[in-house]
Amino acid sequence: MTMQRIFFQIVVIALLHFMFHGCESSSGLSGKNITHLYSQNQVASKIDVEYSVTHLEQNRSSLNYRIDLNDLFDPEDSPKGATIRYRLYQNYNSQVSMDSGYFVLKELPLSGFYDGVQEIEVPSGRNYMLEIDLIDLYSANRTRSFIDIVNSNSFSNQSYKLKRSSDKIVMKSFVEQADSFFVQCNQQIEDLHLRFYGRNFPIASPPFSAVDNKPFDFTPDSLIVLRRNEQGDFVLYVTKSGMYQVVTDTLSRSGGTIFYFGEHYPKSKTVMDLILPLRYITTSPEYYSLTNSENLKKGVDNYWLKVGGNPERAKMLINTYYSRVETSNERFSSYIEGWKSDRGMCYIVYGPPTKVLRNTASETWLYGDEGHYNTLKLTFTKVQNPFSNNDFRLDRNASLKSPWYRAVEFWRQGRIITY
């Protein structure tokens, strides 16, 4: 490595240190635009990274991360490098961080994925919000992420690490295949129980419709005691679609939940993956015809060809529609598949919002120029859900009827609405 490159690294690290510690004050996140979190297309300057948090003992937690090294700049005469900087806030509305820190990753491989872990301090007894910036050492590329910290002394998804047989940590709230998994607790846990719910929830209702939210039946389909393997980890067998809730107390509704939505999820690969999301833009007779067709795949192809008018346009519509379905599955999965959720429904039909404003209790999506009379505004209120921390419900009202039918009609005419 040349002396110039070494000097450049020292300068970059020094500047990052000044930036991180010289600007501890923040305007908070409430009202900030976080649209990049729901971007459908890969932004050129974005680095793909996943995080998970596991609470240890004595106010300590581990921040696990998985970085796509292919997104980092490849310097000619030195290895790749990145910096991870974090700030801990009491909530999304906080103006000043409670704690902050950063660490530098040097000598990274040139390609593949890099898994790492860093211990951070998170006081126990309440919930927080963790803001994380991943910054490429040799370019302006960066990715900002937000993690809801659940550390109120109750057992949750952040009380353990879920690992595959390959020893890789599962970063998402859902697993992508049926398999055996290992629940690795860093705290002293004597027994773990597993509740299984094999429920099939309905898709979201239109934004203007009244919704009758029926109470959830918490009686599990099965309840078993998880056994330990020779390494002391609890073994969890995922065999069929549903919710697998891990609990320390069978009388408590809180716990950590692992979701399995079937093979291929979050991708849309099976014919039913293609048919079911079409309910948002089809009439009842059309949807019945699709689901009862003798040749399901041919029925889907014919539908899009009819809507598009020609194969080229039909292909464009298909790519756009199902890429939105898959993005919804990645971003909005909770106790139901992401495409079934309120946010998923709106994302699929309306597309990525122009602006997303987040606070502790809700998200507000804006389509079009803010303050314009024609701007579409959608508010999603966060729901306290014992199975998921990613459950948001749309504030429905009659004024959303006209923009909904307008967007659906665009799809039915082979067009994509823009704001």
pLDDT digits (tens, 9 = 90+) for 206-245: 999 988 878 899 999 999 999 999 888 999 999 999 999 9
Tell me if 64 sits within 8 A of 53, measured CB to CB. yes
Domain co-membership, 18 together with 134 = yes
Residue 260 in tokens: 């399995």
Q: How far apart are CA 273 and CA 384, in angstroms?
A: 28
Domain's final residue, options 233, 260, 287: 260
- CATH number for the domain including 12? 2.60.40.2060
Domain co-membership, 294 together with 246 = no
How many domains is the chain partitioned into structurally?
Answer: 3
Dihedral of alpha carbons 200, 50, 134, 383, sign? positive
Domain co-membership, 30 together with 121 = yes
Q: How far apart are CA 272 and CA 263, in angstroms?
A: 12
pLDDT of res. 89: 93
Instruction: Please give the biggest Cα pair distance in the chain.
Output: 71
Q: How far apart are CA 342 and CA 391, in angstroms?
A: 9
Domain containing 385 equals: 271-412
Domain's final residue, options 260, 284, 312: 260
Domain co-membership, 312 together with 392 = yes
Domain co-membership, 320 together with 254 = no
91 closest CA partner among 133, 30, 36 = 30
pLDDT of res. 37: 84
The Cα angle at residue 344 between residues 128 and 294, in degrees rounded to 5 = 145
Domain co-membership, 232 together with 283 = no
Integer angstrom CA distances of residue 36 from 48, 115, 327, 354, 355: 12, 23, 12, 10, 9
Question: Looking at residues 119-131, what average pLDDT do you find?
Answer: 93
322 closest CA partner among 343, 304, 299 = 304
Tens digits of residue pLDDT in 38-70: 876 655 578 999 999 999 988 999 999 999 999
pTM of the model: 0.90
Domain co-membership, 278 together with 382 = yes
